[in-house]
Structure 1
Amino acid sequence: MATTATAKWYPVYTHAKAEKKACEALQSKGVEVYLPLQKQLKQWSDRKKWTEEPLIKSYLFVRIPPHEQANVLMTKGIARFIYFSGKVAAMPDRQLEDLKLLMASAYELEITERHLQPGEKICIKAGPLKGITGEIIQYRSQKQLALRLDGIGCSIIVNVAASLIARY
Structure 2
Amino acid sequence: MEAQSKNEPLQTPPVDGTDDREARSKFWIAVCTHSRSEKKIGITLSKLGIENYIPVQSVIKQWSDRKKKMDIVVIPNIVFVHLRDNDISIIRQYSLIKKIISLPGQKEPARIPSEQIDKLKFMLEESTSPVRFRTVNFKKHDTVKVIRGNLKGLTGTVERISEKKSLLIVSIDLLGGATVEIDTAYLEILNDPS
Where does 1:29-68 land on structure 2 (aligned, <5 Å)? 29-41=48-60, 49-68=68-87
1:4/1:112 Cα in 2 relative to 1: closer, same or farther (>3 Å)?
farther
Residue number in structure 2 paired with 1:138? 160
Q: 2:114 aligns with which of 81, 85, 93?
A: 93
Q: Which runs of 5+ in 2 are unaligned?
A: 1-20
1:25 partner SS:
helix
Deviation at 1:149, TM superposition (A): 1.1
Q: Give the partner amino acid of 1:3.
A: E
Q: Which has the higher contact order (CA 8 A, sep 6+)?
A: 1
Q: Which of 131, 139, 148 is residue 126 of structure 1 equivalent to? A: 148
For 1:147, the aligned partner's letter is V
Query: Residues 39, 119 of structure 1: CA spacing in aligned structure 2 closer, same or farther, 3 A cutoff?
Result: same
- Closer, same or farther in 2 for the Cα pair 1:50/1:126, shift >3 Å? closer
Partners of 2:23 and 2:68 lie apart in 1 by: 39
Length-normalised TM-score, structure 2:
0.75
1:14-25 equivalences under 5 Å are 14-25=33-44
Label 1:159 to 1:54 Cα distance change in 2 as closer, same or farther (>3 A).
same
Task: Find the structure with the greater CA-based Rg.
Answer: 2
Native 8 Å contact 1:107 1:159 kept in 2? no
More strand by share: 1
State the shift of 1:147 in Å: 1.4
Cα separation, partners in 2 of 1:44 and 1:137, compared to 1, 3 Å:
closer
The Cα of 1:17 is off from its aligned counterpart by 0.9
Equivalent residues of 1:22, 1:76 under 8 A apart: no
